[in-house]
Amino acid sequence: MRVAETPASTALEYTVEMTLPDELPLDEVVCCAREVEGHGRVRFYGVVDSAEMSTVYSARVKIIRIFPEVFVPPEPGTRVWRSNAENVAWALHFAGMKRKFAAGMLANGQPAYFNLDFLCGEKGAHLNIAGISGVATKTSYALFLLYSMFHCPEAADSRAILFNVKGDDLLYLDKPNASLGEQSRLIYEELGLPCGPFPEVAYHGNQGGMWNLRQFAERELVRFLFSDEDPSGSQEFAIDNLAWVLKSEAAKTLGPELVVLGETVTSLAQLSGMICDSAKEAVWFEKASYNTRMAIVRRLRGITPQVEALLGPGQSFDYESQLNVVDLHLLTEKARAFVVGSVLKSLFEGREKLGDKHPTVFLVLDELNKYAPREGGGRIRQMLLDVAERGRSLGIVLVGAEQTASAVEERVVGNAALRVVGRLESGESLKDAYGWLSAGLRRRATLLQPGTMVVSQPQVPVPLVVRFPFPAWATRRSEVESA
């Protein structure tokens, strides 16, 4: 295999010409070298980006690292060889990562890694995963990354909050997967990971409420009953006043119960009835107009039955476990928005209370386009934008997933240091949100099979195609060993 004369080589890419049976598959890491006056022997490491066959077999190589760093083109006719494992790790910067965790397997069977510093906030933060629902395996890959990261000593004390939005798929993560084959077990071994379920999982919302009524009032969670849409300025003012009244009433008494205007409140329905029945009085909405009050009353009456089961005596959401699964799959869209907003509120409060002692928390949110849309949106969108822009300093890391990154607020996606795509629709792959993909990778993304992802990180100069193993944890009832 040799550097071709045409097309001309550059300091950034060159073409390899070869004769069968020699072949270079996509993603192979190769190397060539030449003598450069004043610098000695210069080596060029690159990744095969495209290949074609006519009368000759040729492959286009993107240069990813030069040593010493002299930006000159490889010389035509120079011999090209496949890099060994040590050189691959050096060329892709894996060898220089002081804190790394497995991202999957490369095409040559070697492990690929993410630099933890670019996820946990040291040098960058946040991860975004895009792809077709049911085919791109976005949630499966997010879980694999969490599992890999939790087994990284530097991230062992971190926490994760994961929202379950599809059936009961994520309610068995603490159980071994009975469907796991021997080949998958070998991949975990090659990645340096144990093969088993998540060791510490807490489930929230699947067996009762998540907050008590006193917390609902003290933390102003009433705001998130209206967070599914962007309220008008007058409605926002009225909601602010309602939240302030409830918080003030809760502060007047001690103990676990909520007392409002001298009446002990035992259910959200009771509280909602008190507000709606006396909406004409100034106590709740101050100087808001009649139409504004009635608009809030209608929305409050409509959503109360949808979220009432989430509020009950003795309930208190926390994220003390390593992995915390919040079950949303039986809730309406409005109720889901209430839970997501309230969980975000709990995170911000926890950070404010503990300061730098607050553990790094990874917030895994699927259907990100619903909560942080490119256009419109309300209070939750603003909170997620705050996480995206300030989360690095707050110790709150957003792991967002969506079918179409082009539909998500640009600043939320743009602040993600790590980017991942699974299978994409052909039209979606052409959107500006995927500008980090080369033309060849955009086309390949429309052909990816489940379990294969394209990943990008700042330290590695080109996106990489990786495979990740079948889950070692159960993802549905049928996979639980005792089922």
Model pLDDT, residue 483: 46
Length of the chain measured in residues:
483
Instruction: For residue 117, give the 3-state DSSP assignment.
Output: helix
Instruction: With a cut of 90, say whether residue 286 has pLDDT above it.
Output: no
Residue 71 burial (C-beta neighbours within 10 Å; 0-12, 13-18, 19+): exposed
Sign of CA dihedral 255, 260, 264, 266: negative
Instruction: With a cut of 80, say whether residue 481 has pLDDT above it.
Output: no
Query: What is the tens place of the pLDDT at every residue in 297-346?
Result: 999 999 999 999 999 776 788 999 999 999 999 999 999 999 999 999 99
Residue 69's pLDDT band (cuts 50, 70, 90): very high
User: Which residues neighbour 292 within 8 Å (Cβ) at sequence distance 6 or greater?
Assistant: 232, 234, 235, 238, 285
Task: Calculate Rg over the CA atoms of the chain.
Answer: 27
Instruction: With a cut of 80, say whether residue 447 has pLDDT above it.
Output: yes
Query: What is the tens place of the pLDDT at every residue in 383-438?
Result: 899 999 988 888 899 999 999 999 999 999 999 999 999 999 999 999 999 999 99
Instruction: With a cut of 80, say whether residue 376 has pLDDT above it.
Output: no
Model pLDDT, residue 227: 74
Query: What is the tens place of the pLDDT at every residue in 228-247?
Result: 665 677 888 889 999 999 99
Query: What is the tens place of the pLDDT at every residue in 340-372?
Result: 999 999 999 999 998 889 999 999 999 899 899
Closest CA to 452 of 421, 480, 475: 421
Model pLDDT, residue 231: 64
Which uninterrupted H or E stretch holds 382?
A: helix 379-394
Task: Please name the fold of domain 100-209+317-479.
Answer: Rossmann fold (3.40.50)
Domain ranges of the chain: 2-91, 100-209+317-479, 213-310
CB of 123 within 8 A of CB of 117?
yes
CA distances in angstroms from 205 to 164, 173, 328, listed in the order given: 10, 16, 7
Instruction: With a cut of 60, say whether residue 482 has pLDDT above it.
Output: no
User: Which residues neighbour 26 within 8 Å (Cβ) at sequence distance 6 or greater?
Assistant: 48, 49, 50, 51, 107, 440, 444, 465
Which uninterrupted H or E stretch holds 145?
A: helix 138-150
Distance of CA 217 to the CA centre of its chain: 31
Q: What mean pLDDT is predicted for residues 74-87?
A: 94
Model pLDDT, residue 19: 86
Query: What is the tens place of the pLDDT at every residue in 460-470?
Result: 999 999 999 99
Considering only residues 20 and 72, tell me which one the structure prediction assigns the higher pLDDT: 72
Percent of the chain predicted with pLDDT > 90: 76
In this structure, what token pair is assigned to residue 78? 């120079």
Percent of the chain predicted with pLDDT > 70: 98
Which uninterrupted H or E stretch holds 439?
A: helix 439-445
In angstroms, rounded to a whole number, what is the distance separating the alpha carbons of residues 344 and 333? Answer: 17
Instruction: With a cut of 70, say whether residue 270 has pLDDT above it.
Output: yes
pTM of the model: 0.92
- Helix orientation angle between 290-307 and 233-251, rounded to the nearest 10 degrees: 60
- Quickly count: other Cβ atoms within 10 Å of residue 394's Cβ: 19
* Residue-averaged pLDDT of the chain: 92
